[in-house]
A and B are shown apart, each in its own frame.
Chain A
Amino acid sequence: MNIHIPTPLRAYTGGLETVSVTGTTVSSVFQQLTVQYPELKPHLFTPEGKLRSFVNVYLNDDDIRYLPNKEETPATDTDELTIIPSIAGGTSCRL
């Protein structure tokens, strides 16, 4: 299946925007991805192996955090996975 890589992480995929990985579930796809591109791993996962809180992963149009089976959701070659870090901020408190 195709995985779309956001601009900041392309330095770890040889500049590729889209990489192709095989796997039957989201977690096995991620497993393969980090075997193919090991430098990606610390940017996606905490040392404990959990997906970093600011990293969002979409299987087609669905956030995997909200899918019933989460990372164990089945994936096929025609599915697309998108990795997208969060965007937020603001003044937060006034001077």
Chain B
Amino acid sequence: MLRIHYADYEALRAHGEETYPNECCGVLLGKNIAGEGDGAPVNSAAAVNYVQQIVRAGNTRTDSAHNRYHIAPQELVKIQRQARGLGLDIVGFYHSHPDHPAQWSKTDFAEAHWLGCSYIITSVEQGKAILTNSFLLSGTGEDDKNFEDQAIQIDIAPNVAEAAALNQKGQA
């Protein structure tokens, strides 16, 4: 399951509207609840990717930004550093599909390498965000990776106590 605060959910959808007709992209920072710190599989069905913060990223694919996205590795290194500073991990990514379904494409699958992470896709039709879906990249490697439909739980009010406990664990 993917858990995300309503404000973050709305913000990533708004990002897709802002960049329309081009694809937006960004990173989900948080905690993988089932897998944290103990080496347990992060992609088991029971795992929850709990998003604490989203980070907008730039799309380097200016040559084909309407149907491709790519986050510069250097930007990703900075975001990973930022996550570490907050006691959080990269638990997933988001991008938009302008005038295209909120379903992973062959390109999305071929380019997906973050096993255990969530890939959120929002369809943006005529500049309006329509559907948002999440897919868990499951498997143990490139040979058996798979995108599985992932339920999204949207928290209307942030659970402050839970978030603080998570952050404390992350900093321990």
Residues on A facing B (Cβ under 8 Å) = 4, 6-8, 10-11, 13-15, 17, 42-43, 54-56, 58, 61, 63, 82, 84-95
Is A87 a contact of B77 with CB atoms below 8 Å? no
| Least CB distance, B1 to chain A, in whole angstroms | 17
CB neighbours of B153 from chain A (8 A)? none
User: How many angstroms between the C-alpha atoms of A87 and B91 in the bound complex?
Assistant: 13
Closest-by-CB residue of B relative to A90 is: B68
Given A61-B74, A63-B74, A4 and B111 touching (CB < 8 A)? no
A7-B117, A15-B38 known; A89+B112 contact, CB < 8 A: yes
Check B105–A89 contact: CB distance below 8 A.
yes
Once A8-B115, A17-B84, A54-B113 are accepted as A-B contacts, the answer to whether A87 and B39 lie under 8 Å apart by CB is: no
* CB-CB under 8 A for A15 and B39, given A87-B76, A88-B70: yes
Asked if B42 contacts A92 (CB within 8 A), the reply is: no
Q: How far is the CB of A34 from chain B (nearest CB, A)?
A: 15
Q: Spell out B's residues near A (CB within 8 Å).
A: 23, 25, 27, 32, 35-42, 61, 64, 67-71, 73-74, 76-77, 80, 84, 89-91, 93, 95, 97-101, 104-117, 119, 141
What CA separation (Å) do A5 and B106 show in the bound complex? 27
Taking a contact as CB atoms under 8 Å apart, the answer to whether A90 and B76 are in contact is: no
Nearest neighbor of B101 in chain A, beta-carbon distance: A95
With both chains docked as a complex, state the minimum distance between the C-beta of B104 and any C-beta of chain A, in angstroms. Answer: 8
Q: Taking the nearest CB of chain B, how far is it from the CB of A5, in angstroms? A: 10
A14 to B36: give the CA distance in the assembly, Å.
Answer: 10
Residues B67 and A93 in contact, CB atoms below 8 Å apart: yes
Cα–Cα, bound, A31→B111 (Å): 27
Q: What residues of A have a CB within 8 angstroms of the CB of B116 in the complex?
A: 7-8, 11
Find chain A residues with CB under 8 A from B95 CB: 89-90
Contact A90-B113, Cβ < 8 Å, known A11-B42, A61-B74, A84-B80: no
Partner of B36, one of A15, A56, A84: A15
B40 neighbours in A (Cβ, 8 Å): 11, 15
The reply to whether B114 and A87 contact each other, CB–CB distance below 8 Å, is yes
Instruction: Name the contact of B32 in the complex, choosing from A4, A7, A82 (C-beta under 8 A).
Output: A7
